[in-house]
Amino acid sequence: MKDTAVIIGAGIVGLACARALAREGIEVIILEQHDDFGTETSARNSEVIHAGIYYPPGSLKATLCVQGRTLLYQFCKDYGVEHRQCGKLIVATTAAQEAQLHAIKQKAEGNGVTDLVLISSAQAQALEPEVECTAALFSPSTGIIDSHALMLALLGDAERHGAVLAVRTPVERIVAQDNHFDVQTGGDAPSSIRADIVINSAGLHAAKVAARIDGLAPQYVPAVRYAKGNYFSLSGKAPFSRLVYPIPEPGGLGVHYTIDMGGQGRFGPDVQWIDKIDYHVDASRSEKFYDQIRRYWPKLHDGALQPAYSGIRPKLVSAGEPDADFYIQGPQQHGLSGLINLYGIESPGLTSSLAIAEKIVHSINSFACKT
């Protein structure tokens, strides 16, 4: 009898894992507590395909982002997912910041991102006439994507290979048996599912799900903090056809410019550390955006920004601490065969999704061979 895998969470990463496992001939059931797939972090992000520039060399974020970016562009071509490899400018707005461009380029090259180009102010303005900078890095591999279309394509391919999505099906308890898991669900039709493999890809709720696993020791359930990013849309014509990012600042990448597939320009994020999930965007928070944006786009008019949306990231660190890597926790850590917990899967989670799924399939196959 073939294995049964339960994927908890139908966001981009969960759907990518479901697709990868289903294509291996495994029976896959995707459990989603909400009314539809991808309604939380996957629906509330900047939809950027990242190149892999900023992450520490050798980290999972670096390696999986670079691998995932290549896989994602190919997936988009193969499955007709709307996307655009528009490129990105990282701009220095003072002479003192120009040395940081060189440091960013060096780090990126350590990650295997070898196509960054240092350009002058004049060259940057030839690409984006309204940008103000003293020098810039151009990243041709950065792009944008329709995240909902991506999820539809992932789910569609998973279903073609036999996967099933169950919405309004929260996980209440998981009991680890000798060689399988008893996954107990609530919702409209409470049930119990016997699973050989459990992938906890619950995003913001991954630690809460892990805490409901009988047999998983408490030390393997990390504390998770919520970091909320607020985004503001721009009224009028978009000023840039590419993404524009300032030099990174402590705690984030600064207030940067992105564009969606419909051509709507937006700026963000500013980061709030919060105790509970709350997606309200306070319009007054835009006030501090103007000065930061005008450093690289002086033509921004007063009153041009309106609240757009917010997104929340699951963080494994507190405010002010160095960013944590992805945490893919498997049997080699906690000792439960067939269980993989995904913690702290934030940016670049979308870009890395297909590579994360490949890594999980490899991990499951490797462990199965050993046993």
Q: What is the CATH number for 284?
A: 3.30.9.10
* pLDDT higher than threshold 70 for residue 188: yes
Same domain, 136 and 243: yes
The CATH number for 217's domain is: 3.50.50.60
Structure confidence at residue 1 (pLDDT) = 41
For the segment 88-117, the average pLDDT, to the nearest whole number, is 96
Buried b (16+ CB within 10 A) or exposed e, 66-103: bbbbebbbebbeeeebebbebbbbbbbbeeebbeebee
pLDDT (0 to 100) of residue 368: 59
In three-state secondary structure terms, 213 is strand
pLDDT digits (tens, 9 = 90+) for 263-288: 999 999 989 999 999 999 999 999 99
Residue finishing a domain among 286, 315, 344: 315
Termini Cα distance of the chain: 17
Helix/strand/coil for 115: coil
Encode pLDDT of 119-144 as tens digits: 999 999 999 999 999 999 999 999 99
For residues 333 and 200, is the Cβ–Cβ distance under 8 A?
Answer: no
pTM comes to 0.96
Number of separate domains in the chain: 2
Q: Are residues 114 and 168 in the same domain?
A: no
Instruction: Tell me: pLDDT of 370 over 60.
Output: no
**273 and 257: one domain?**
yes
Tell whether 175 and 98 lie within a shared domain: no
d(CA 16, CA 19): 5
If asked whether residues 168 and 153 sit together in one domain, one would say yes
- Are residue 9 and residue 113 in the same domain, yes or no? no
d(CA 48, CA 145): 6
Q: Is the pLDDT of residue 355 over 70?
A: yes
In sequence order, the β-bridge partners of residue 243 are: 88
Q: Residue 304 — pLDDT band, cuts 50, 70, 90?
A: very high
